[in-house]
Amino acid sequence: MTGEVTDKVGGRELDVTRSPPSNYHVEDSQRVHKVGVPPKQKLSKEFAATLKETFFHDEPLRPFKDQAKLRQLVLGLQALFPILDWARDYNLSKFRGDLIAGLTIASLAIPQDIGYAKLANLDPQYGLYSSFVPPLVYAFMGSSRDIAIGPVAVVSLLLGTLLQNEIDHSNKVAYQRLAFTATFFAGITQVTLGVLRLGFLIDFLSHAAIVGFMAGAAITIGLQQLKGFLGITTFTKKTDIVSVMRSVLTSVHHGGKKNRKWFWVPAIAPLISVIFATLFVFITHADKHGVAIVNHIKKGVNPASANQIYFTGGFLLKGFRIGVVAGMIALTESIAIGRTFAAVKDYQLDGNKEMVALGTMNVIGSMTSCYVATGSFSRTAVNFMAGCNTAVSNIVMSFVLLLTLLVITPLFKYTPNAVIASIIISAVIGLIDIEAMILIWKIDKLDFIACMGAFFGVVFVSIEIGLLIAVGISFAKILLQVTRPRTALLGKLPMTSVYRNIQQYPDATKVPGILIVRVDSAIYFSNSNYIKERILRWLIDEEEEVKANKLTRIQYLIVQMSRKRFSALVTLVLANPGRPVIDKLYASGFANLIGDNRIFLTVADAVLAYAPKTEEP
């Protein structure tokens, strides 16, 4: 019998004409589908289609099609500045929530900024500067409704460590110039990734590696705050736990879920602590009796710093290298935070727009005496719980920081370092996610190794080595998955035409005379030999079982995405190949080699065509 049928898969017509073997019995109601040959594409169209799918799969220019010039201009401005879109529906009710949220995160930001600037080895005012200009820029360009922008602990420590390796922070002018240079190139890196739509690069740093890196950095930051908390005057410049604990011991030898209703208590607690501690020191003159204080904080708004960026000379390359690393880490943290809270509120976060917004604010920030800013997890969580509705909460926070810089900064002179240190310790504790580590262990042991590798690298060596280990293990896992893809033997589920992994479904039965294999990956030059050898071992095992139990000899091998004939006694049959695979099969002439009638739409069709004839009862 010869069947002639057409079917559609993936929106294209398939030629399903076939002639089954003479020893094969088919019911009239059954149809066996053969995959058709896709039309040949021109090289330019094929290249353009591949480029579009890789970098522009979300079709960013679709809204601009068939629009008048003026409308295209408006849409373009709205794409670059999302505030022009959502501001049209803004009202007093939304502002009330944003106002409360902005005031709340400002009260948390002020003491944190002073402490984080110290982590970066910068004067306290630079932390405050970085919570004034960048949030304003982000409010106009960012697509997240919840992210609170400013300096963060991990990036501050990373930046301080990398800068300290190049210039001692005692040389304030050169150190600050290199910090602004690194911030500038961090912003350029982020904008470039967004414009070129290369955001997928940050996905190479796996979630498991980030969890370990953040936890290790949190412990390192917490330990380093023992200097201010215990009033230690001589302290190591290294960041590993051994050096830090040695400094602490030497100095000693010589001398859950939050209730949303009460979110404001822990949010304003740091500022309240700073106010009371500062008043106490001022009244009692405790600073004259050995209590270390913040000392002078420069009053006034951000001074211009564009002329301080190294655009030439030996520090240009150093600033670029530090900026790329800091920019990538800042981007990874902010995108992860934004996606988390966007999922909670059920709205879409545009990753590429986020990169452009974050990059632009850091480029502008580098020219206004700011260092690298990004989305802060602790502030974003408070912002969310305080009932923020839009990015206006960042604008409110910025204006509070402006008033602080203009009026209040001299009052922080008497703030004890011990209070600032305790605020930083309490802030970074939340970065240690024990539950996430346990979950990673349960789900994927290889991911857990990546997590622990990053953690111990940061804790026992340095923050940059921990980062290198995190990236290295993440890449190693990707390479391992590509070069050693999972493969499975398939069997038929009873009373169905479905074929599944026989290890996962013990009641799935093998088809006599046919070995069915599934490869859970595309086949490349890097894994083709492994897949061939894996299937050959299965064939050998099956042949031994056939001889031992006198079963039907294996005559057909059904495999997805394969390119080799594995045995002269076994016929290769392909099932369910995708469009790119089909293109390459016919372009290489391999489809003609194995025969057009041995490429099928599904595994069931392939088995139906080549299974031995069974007698009707």
- Is the distance from CB of 36 to CB of 15 less than 8 angstroms? yes
Distance CA 389, CA 295 (A): 37
The pair phi, psi for residue 615, each rounded to 5°, is -75, 140
- For 505, residues 6+ apart whose C-beta sits below 8 A from its C-beta are 491, 493
Rounded-to-5 percentages of helix, strand, coil across the chain: 60, 5, 30
Residues 452 and 537 grouped into a single domain: no
Clarify whether residues 127 and 111 are in a common domain: yes
**Do residues 435 and 562 both lie within one domain?**
no
Q: Which domain holds residue 158?
A: 85-233+264-479
Q: Are residues 409 and 554 in the same domain?
A: no
Measuring CA to CA, which residue among 158, 192, 202, 163 is closest to residue 359?
Answer: 192
Domain boundary among 409, 444, 479: 479
pLDDT for 147: 93
Residue 140 lies in a domain: yes
510 and 472 fall within a common domain: no
474 and 491 housed in the same domain: no
The pLDDT assigned to 390 comes to 93
Count of the separate structural domains present in the chain: 2
Is residue 42 one of the residues assigned to a domain? no
In DSSP terms, which residues pair with 488 in a beta bridge? Answer: 518
In this structure, the answer to whether residues 220 and 324 fall within a common structural domain is yes
Examine residue 456 and state whether it is found in any structural domain, yes or no. Answer: yes
In 3D space, the residue among 408, 473, 475, 404 whose CA is nearest the CA of residue 445 turns out to be: 473
Distance separating alpha carbons of residues 381 and 93, to the nearest angstrom: 21
pLDDT at residue number 46: 65
């452009």: which residue's tokens? Answer: 356
Digit-coded pLDDT (tens) for 222-270: 776 665 555 555 555 554 444 544 554 455 445 544 455 666 666 677 8
- Same domain membership, residue 406 and residue 373: yes
The CATH number given to whatever domain includes residue 544 is 3.30.750.24
Of 83, 202, 170, 39, nearest to 587 by C-alpha is 39
Same structural domain for residues 105 and 123?
A: yes
Residue 267 CB neighbours (<10 A): 24
Determine, yes or no, domain membership for 117. Answer: yes
Any idea what DSSP says for residue 405? I
**CA atoms of 289 and 189, how far apart (whole Å):** 47
The predicted pLDDT at position 36 comes to: 56
Of the three residues 463, 479, 495, the one that is the final residue of a domain is 479
Residue type, 24: Y
Distance CA 79, CA 289 (A): 57
- Residue 59 domain-assigned (yes or no): no
* Domain end position, chosen among 419, 452, 479: 479
Residue 8 covered by a domain? no
- Sorted by sequence, the CB contacts under 8 Å of residue 579 that are 6+ apart come out as 10, 12, 38
CA dihedral 399, 400, 406, 408 (to 10 degrees): 180
Clarify whether residues 279 and 138 are in a common domain.
Answer: yes
| Sites in the chain below the pLDDT cut of 50 | 1-29, 239-242, 244-245, 248-249, 252-253, 256-258, 562-568, 615-617
Side-chain half-sphere of 290: how many Cα atoms within 13 Å?
5
pTM: 0.71
The answer to whether the beta carbons of residues 152 and 333 sit under 8 Å apart is yes
pLDDT at 356: 93
Confidence at residue 24, expressed as pLDDT on a 0 to 100 scale: 37
Query: How is residue 539 written in tokens?
Result: 């064939």
The answer to whether position 23 is within a domain reads no
Torsion of CA 578, 584, 587, 590, to 10 degrees: -90
The span from the CA of 600 to the CA of 9, in Å, is 12
Q: Which two tokens stand for residue 45?
A: 């169209």
Whether the CB-CB separation of 354 and 189 falls below 8 Å is answered with no
Give CA–CA dist 295/466, Å, rounded. Answer: 33
Residue labelled with tokens 């305790």: 422
Whether residues 470 and 499 share a domain: the answer is no
For residue 3, the cross-strand partners are 18
Residue 61 lies in a domain: no
Same domain, 496 and 458: no
